[in-house]
Structure formats: C-alpha cells, structure tokens
Amino acid sequence: MKFDQQEIEQLRKAYNELMIERSMFGSGSAYGDHYEIVRLLRSFGCRDRFEASAQVMNYIEYVI
C-alpha cells in the first residue's frame, strides 16, 4: 500500500509516541497499545492482516 506524506507523518508520530510510552512505563504488546496504530492504518485504507504487535511495528518501521 502507498501512503501519502501526511499519512506517513501521522504514522511516525503515533509510532514515536508508542515507543516513548513503552520505554517510560515498560508496557508492551500485552497492553494492546499497538491497536491505536492499527486503527490509524485502517483509517488510511490499509487492510493488511497482523497476527502480532511485532508485525505491526515492523510494518510501520518499513513505511516510515
């Protein structure tokens, strides 16, 4: 899927916020915090399937 520059910036911001939260509070995927990013991806029309939070994070790292 191709994202426009504004969508990439929104994904970058969400990813950075998630990484800061994880580092500050030690929360991980068990808390489902990656679902916010999946929701954002869905709003952009992304219909890829993700089996685990690591797949979501890898996808975002590839996009940004």
Residue pLDDT, tens place only, 46-58: 999 999 888 999 9
d(CA 31, CA 8) in angstroms, rounded, equals: 24
Residue 24: what pLDDT? 79
> Taking 70 as the threshold, does the pLDDT of residue 29 lie above it?
no
C-alpha to C-alpha distance for 4 and 21, rounded to whole angstroms: 26
SS3 21: helix
Q: pTM for this structure?
A: 0.83
Q: How many domains does the chain have?
A: 1
- In terms of residue numbers, what domain contains 38? 5-63
